[in-house]
Chain A
Amino acid sequence: MNSSNPNDFLPPVLATWRVTPPVNPRFRSEVWARLQSQTRESYATYVRSHLTGWTMVAALLVVTAVWTGHAVGEAKLNAKRDAMVVSYLVDLDPRVQAKIRP
């Protein structure tokens, strides 16, 4: 009867086994990147990271809004001014008065 254990060769092998994994220099940054991608980005962070683009969009929108608002206001004023000139001249013009008076 063979009393020797078939696994007896393992202890000396395990005793000499050394694990030498390759070093990943970006290990930390990759871990942080994965963590950040799973957490919600704050609004302030979002704005800060897109500040230049949004500033340009805001400036463009404000300039357009000012120009449009001013133009619409002037157009409305001109229409009222035109009506006022007509009203003013109706009072002064006998030709019109002759038509509208009984």
Chain B
Amino acid sequence: MKHLLTTLALLTLVAAATGFVAYQRAGDPQVKAALEQRDAMAWLKSEFSLNDAQFARIKTLHDAYSVECEDHCRAIQEAEKARQDLKQAGADPVRLAEAERSVRELTEICETAIASHVRRCAAEMSPAAGERYLAMVLPKIADFDHRAAPDVGLNPHRH
């Protein structure tokens, strides 16, 4: 009985150690490091195996898009403020509906703009990586519009 228990204990230890090693070795180490550091660009580079030239082109696209993003952001904020002002002032329903439509149109323009941007980024990647990138980001872009703001504590926005 003692030998049986000893053997069971030994095998459990071996299994636990093996499981821990398998857990540690799951995934690409560079991707894991980027995720740990919460560095989006480093993650992008390692996750989609970008070479330096691809990475530089995508970074340029992101930088250019951030200006466009800033304009869209401001336009949405202004449209939302105008809608809010109209609501508070008790404006007539026609003007309110017009303000509502303006916000909706700007939101749709933004969704189209961001989707175009990520497609341009995907085009810079290898076909397989680009496809995987789009499969990862496009559903979330569509989802952002239908849900409350996602967890934004990870990375404060910097234009």
Contacts and interface: CB of A to CB of B under 8 A. Distances in A.
B110 A69 contact: no
Contacts of B151: 83, 86-87
Nearest to A43: B3
Interface residues of B, number: 60
- For the residues of B in contact with A, the DSSP-based class is helix
A85 B137 contact: yes
A44 to B, nearest CB: 10
A32 B44 CA distance: 73
B132 to A, nearest CB: 11
Interface string B1-42: 001001100011011101111111111000110111010100
21 contacts: A47-B7, A61-B15, A62-B18, A73-B24, A73-B26, A77-B31, A83-B154, A84-B38, A85-B136, A87-B151, A87-B154, A89-B137, A89-B144, A90-B149, A91-B40, A92-B65, A93-B144, A94-B76, A96-B144, A98-B80, A101-B77
